[in-house]
Structure 1
Amino acid sequence: MARKTYQGEKNDKSRTMNKLIQSVGIVLEKKGYTGLTIANIASTAGVDRKLISVYFGSVENLIETYIKGKDYWVEATAAAEQTLANSKDESTRHFLENLLLEQIHYFALNEEMQKVVLWQISEKSDIMSHVTQSREKMSSLFFPYSDKELAGKNVDLRAVSSLLVAGIYYLVLHTKMTDSTFCEIDLTTEEGMNRIKEAVKFILKQTYGAE
Structure 2
Amino acid sequence: MTKKRYQGETNDKERSMHRLLEAVGCVIKEKGYAGLGPTNIAKAAGLNKRLIYFYFGSVDNLIEKYVRSKDYFAGASNGADQLLEQNNGSGTCKLLESILVSQLEHFYNNEEMQKIILWQISERSQIMFEVAETREQVGSQFFELADKELNQEKADLRAVAGLLVGGIYYMVLHAKSNDSLFCEIDINTEAGFDRIKNAIGNILSDTYRRAKLQEN
**What TM-score bracket applies, with the shorter chain setting the length?**
over 0.9
TM-score, structure 1 length as denominator? 0.93
SS of residue matched to 1:124:
coil
Which position in structure 1 is the counterpart of 2:65?
Answer: 65
Shift of the alpha carbon at 1:35? 1.4
**Is there any run of 5+ residues in structure 1 with no aligned partner, and where?**
1-5
Kindly provide the CA deviation profile for residues 93-141 of structure 1, in whole angstroms up to 9, marking residues without a partner as x. Answer: 0100000111111100000000000011111111111111111121121
Structure 2 match to 1:135:
135
Whole-angstrom distance in 2 between the partners of 1:152 and 1:31:
43
| Secondary structure of 2:88 counterpart | coil
Q: Is the 8 A contact 2:38 2:49 kept in 1?
A: yes
| 1:2-81 matches, cutoff 5 A | 8-81=8-81
Alpha-carbon distance in structure 1 between the residues aligned to 2:44 and 2:11: 20
Deviation at 1:90, TM superposition (A): 3.8
How far apart, in 1, do the equivalents of 2:89 and 2:148 lie?
12
**CA offset at residue 43 of structure 1?**
0.6
Deviation at 1:89, TM superposition (A): 6.4
Q: State the distance in 2 between where 1:54 and 1:25 align.
A: 20
1:109 counterpart residue number: 109
2: distance between equivalents of 1:125 and 1:47? 26
Q: Secondary structure at the match of 2:62?
A: helix
Residues 37-84 of structure 1: CA distance to partner in whole angstroms, max 9, x if unpaired?
Answer: 111100111111111111111111100000001100111121121112
Letter in 2 for 1:39: T
Distance 2:143 2:151 in 1: 11
Equivalent AA in structure 2 for residue 106 of structure 1: H
The AA in structure 2 aligned to 1:64 is E
- Other-structure match for 2:3: none
Percent identity of paired positions between Structure 1 and Structure 2: 52
Q: Deviations over 1:2-28 (max 9, x none)?
A: xxxx87222211211111011101111
Q: Once superposed, which parts of structure 1, at least 4 consecutive aligned residues long, lie more than 4 Å away?
A: none
Q: Does the CA-based 8 Å contact 2:90-2:149 persist in structure 1?
A: no
**Which residue pairs with 2:191 in the alignment?**
191
Contact 2:89 2:149 in 1 (8 A): no
Look up the SS of the partner of 2:198 in the other structure: helix
2:119 maps to a residue whose letter is W
Q: Deviations over 1:147-186 (max 9, x none)?
A: 0100376111111111101110000001111111001111
Note the 1:120-131 alignment, pairs <5 A.
Answer: 120-131=120-131
How many residue pairs end up in the alignment?
A: 206
Distance 1:49 1:82 in 2: 39
Aligned to 2:201: 201
Aligned to 2:146: 146
The answer to which of 127-136 and 61-70 deviates more is 127-136
Distance change >3 Å, CA 152–CA 193, structure 1 → 2: closer
Q: Does structure 1 residue 180 correspond to structure 2 residue 180?
A: yes
Distance 1:108 1:61 in 2: 26
